Structure 1
């Protein structure tokens, strides 16, 4: 694969490159040979991030959540500005140079991928001639798709988990194709809930305050809370907690991590406090939830 950048990772950022042995198996397996991931990452406020490739031997997606950047691409070094909600699509063989703005660093998801049908999936995105950008807008469900792919790094060396990630990539690509014709309908002068929920989704592993959310949509804290509650019937923090608990349930379902590790994974340093929040939301403790999933308890047990 084309090497990822050597940008020094900050604590809230992730870079995961699949083991070469596993990539070889995915390239040969009938359930993944058509499309499979090579490397996946999330860079948060990545000041100084820059990458230039004359030889690009796989396919690359970059989805910008906040901040801005620029890309030069092709033999003539055409240039485009990358803004929040933009998806940069760089097919195999496209020389490119991209970088973020120093004063307004971007937060991005990225994925390198390959497979016998990779070009077909890119063609389905129906890119405009001579442009590598899709103006999709911010979509929390799309952010969730990228987050699900990032779970691949928990897979260790189990082929089944990597096969699952290959099919999650297929879902992500078809989801993008579905969103593309709707992108022009995203402009609205009401509160941009997708932007807020995408920011929440990207930061489930940490804490976030109302001031940060309000600033993301250029509103005062008071007006932001009022607008948000009018549209959703809930406060932004309550919704954020709900998203954290949903994420915790997913981790309880698909991993063997202990409650303390899962608490850390959704931004709670105190496992006891996390357990109280979980019980308040779900009506049962994390341990009881897992026991039900493992068949050691029933849904109706006290």
Structure 2
């Protein structure tokens, strides 16, 4: 087992410090490969925040005082808030390597939020990076050397760690958004090309490997309207253009935009525009005189 840790002012007692926005209290690392087990149990938590980075192997966390463990693999970080019960275990046969840092301050929640770490986040998917380990090791080194202005350096290093976490969280969010944007853009193009046919929303969603409920919810998030409302909007918009610019009769226009039943077309048009297609055409013609 390898262990290396360091503490502000060489004190192992956890503390709360509101005199500065952000204060690093301690930092360290564990690497289990000879010891069979390393458990930690703090039923009342600590006064400060703790961030743990699983660099390799896996760690077992017991959140909310439950007996069932949550397995956290390498490439994740776990954040504990003040007075939150802590219970976690590392096992030697799983080759667990963990870095940790304790910090406090008057603006910790605000600072975390500015880097995309919200109050509901407990396990952060950060990926593995040598940069994470480098920052943790540098914080340990600064705490051990105690050179001039080292508390300020510790704060800067911790903020650098937060920046790297924020970049990773943003990258994951961007990937999800890129997928959503791509799929919804394809859907809009499909509906634009086929608005005047019998479009089956369930069949379209299935053809893209999506559940219909997820597709409708995502489409509405992207366009602020449901797929069917979007199709109806395209039909009525194009019907307006035909009423204004052509001499096609109402039945013909209804068929062109996808309504074989002229009465149903008129009813939908009235519902959308507050008047019948014929009244809309008359209003347009009157405006041109």
TM-score (norm 1): 0.49
Unaligned runs of 5+ in 2: 176-289
**Does the 8 A contact of 1:69 with 1:105 survive in 2?**
no
- 1:139 Cα deviation (Å)? 1.4
Q: Distance in 2 between matches of 1:102 and 1:131?
A: 28
Q: Distance in 2 between matches of 1:76 and 1:67?
A: 22
TM-score (norm 2): 0.51
Q: Secondary structure at the match of 1:13?
A: strand
Task: After superposing the two structures, state which structure 1 stretch, 125-134 or 53-62, moved more.
Answer: 125-134
- 1:75 Cα deviation (Å)? 5.3
Unaligned runs of 5+ in 1: 1-9, 187-302
* 1:42 and 2:29 are equivalent in the alignment: yes
Q: Distance in 2 between matches of 1:77 and 1:120?
A: 32
**Does the 8 A contact of 1:136 with 1:183 survive in 2?**
no
Task: Report the aligned-residue RMSD.
Answer: 3.1
- 1:147 Cα deviation (Å)? 2.0
- 1:155 Cα deviation (Å)? 2.4
Once the two structures are superposed, residues 85-104 of structure 1 have per-residue CA deviations (whole angstroms, 9 ceiling, x without a partner) of 11011111211200113421
* 1:70 and 2:57 are equivalent in the alignment: no
* 1:119 and 2:106 are equivalent in the alignment: no
Aligned residue number for residue 178 of structure 1: 167
Q: Secondary structure at the match of 2:93?
A: coil
Once the two structures are superposed, residues 89-144 of structure 1 have per-residue CA deviations (whole angstroms, 9 ceiling, x without a partner) of 11112112001134213101100110111122333454588651111111122222
- 1:40 Cα deviation (Å)? 0.4
**Does the 8 A contact of 2:112 with 2:118 survive in 1?**
no
Q: Distance in 2 between matches of 1:106 and 1:172?
A: 21
- Of residues 146, 165, 177, the one that matches 2:154 is 165
**Does the 8 A contact of 1:69 with 1:98 survive in 2?**
yes
- 1:28 Cα deviation (Å)? 7.1
Aligned residue number for residue 147 of structure 1: 137
Structure 2 counterparts to residues 24-35 of structure 1, below 5 A: 27=17, 33-35=20-22
Return the index of the structure with the highest Cα Rg.
2
**Does the 8 A contact of 2:7 with 2:144 survive in 1?**
no
Aligned residue number for residue 5 of structure 2: 15
Aligned length in residues? 170
Q: Distance in 1 between matches of 2:84 and 2:38?
A: 19
Q: Secondary structure at the match of 2:83?
A: coil
Greater percentage in helix: 2
